[in-house]
Amino acid sequence: MTRIEGPRFSPEDFVAILAWTWVAVPPPAREALAASCTPPGAPHTLASLLGFYFFETMAMGRRLRIPVEPAALAADLSAVFGDRGPALAEQLREKSAKLEAQLRENVDLLKTLAAESSDFAVDDTDALAVLRSADAMSPYQRTWVQAMAWRVMTALVRLRDGNPKMAEVLDDAAQGKRLLVRMLAEQPPVLTEDAWEGILAESEAEAIAWRVALVSLRMDELHASQVCRAFLENAELRAYAIGIGRDERAMRELGELAARVRAGGGSETR
């Protein structure tokens, strides 16, 4: 017969481990971590890389997304440990307060690193997915972003004008979203969880239609593929690109440039 044994940790040790999950650290106290976070699979910035090493040893629970109210934690501890619950809840609060204090001590460092890394963006299209501001783009990155923004809007116009049924789908947010999800499931790019959450939360038909046009493009060239992924991952960069598509003058100038490139009078790459 298999013998079932009880817990191998004392209640105090259990609470100490529980504190390291950050379950009792309030969400507002974690906001400073945004400077050092990067989506799974995305390239690190300087701030995110240094922050990763720092927090890997300091706070294993920094990725926790589900907040639990202090009263609920106290009630659960009392339900499990009986009369010892209130004392254990107080121990949890004390240890969590120390974690918050450590975070506050290092928040200025994190903000400084974030500012420095965003001021000196990596001059490559692969870095666009985590670029903190469209203003931080290098001339090379901006060229690719503008060219791809023109391609997306041109593709969107073609999709609307070429098929009345497609135009009907694109004008309906629910239908457009189903189409977009199906297209992304059938072909690259592979997106992070944050990008998928943004897609599923989107309610504007025009924004969804823009993504459909983006994913419909063939992305055989590496830089074009990286910019495509960046548009899906980076909300600010996507807003910048959509803004270009709404600017008639910018679209006209980019169209003229594209015509010259096709005619052999210029180049989109360095």
Could you read off the pLDDT of 120-134 as tens digits, one per residue?
445 578 888 888 888
Closest CA to 236 of 121, 137, 120, 161: 137
Q: Give 103's contacts (C-beta < 8 A, 6+ positions apart).
A: 25, 29, 30, 32, 33, 59
Quote the CA–CA distance of 20 and 99 in Å, as a whole number: 8
Residue-wise over 134-147: b if at least 16 C-beta within 10 A, else e?
bebbbeebebbbbb
For residue 174, the one-letter residue type is A
Q: What are phi and psi of 154, to 5 degrees?
A: -65, -40
Residues 156-192: tens digit of each pLDDT: 999 999 888 999 999 999 999 999 999 998 876 888 8
Q: Who has greater pLDDT, 104 or 117?
A: 104
Quote the CA–CA distance of 122 and 44 in Å, as a whole number: 10
Q: Give 147's contacts (C-beta < 8 A, 6+ positions apart).
A: 254, 258, 268
Name the percent of the chain lying above pLDDT 90: 39
What is the predicted pLDDT for the residue at 123?
Answer: 59
Distances (CA, A) of 37 to 61, 151, 156, 182: 13, 31, 33, 29
Give the chain as a 3 state SS string. CCCCCCCCCCHHHHHHHHHCCCCCCCHHHHHHHHHHCCCCCCCCCHHHHHHHHHHHHHCCCCCCCCCCCHHHHHHHHHHHHHHHHHHHHHHHHHHHHHHHHHHHHHHHHHHHHHHHHHHCCCCCHHHHHHCCCHHHCCHHHHHHHHHHHHHHHHHHHHHHHHCHHHHHHHCCHHHHHHHHHHHHHHCCCCCCHHHHHHHHHCCCHHHHHHHHHHHHCCCCCHHHHHHHHHHHHCHHHHHHHHHHHHCHHHHHHHHHHHHHHHCCCCCCCC
* CB contact at 8 A, 10 and 81: no
Residues 183-242: tens digit of each pLDDT: 998 876 888 888 999 999 999 999 999 999 999 988 777 888 899 999 999 999 999 999
* 44 pLDDT above the threshold of 70: no
Rg over alpha carbons for the chain, rounded to the nearest Å, is 25
**Residue 257: CB atoms within 10 Å:** 17
What is the predicted pLDDT for the residue at 17?
Answer: 84
Residues 66-110: tens digit of each pLDDT: 778 889 999 999 998 999 999 999 999 999 898 888 777 766 665
* 37 pLDDT above the threshold of 90: no
What is the predicted pLDDT for the residue at 121?
Answer: 47
What is the predicted pLDDT for the residue at 61?
Answer: 61
For residue 269, the one-letter residue type is T
267: confidence class by pLDDT, cuts 50, 70, 90: very low
114: confidence class by pLDDT, cuts 50, 70, 90: low
268: confidence class by pLDDT, cuts 50, 70, 90: very low
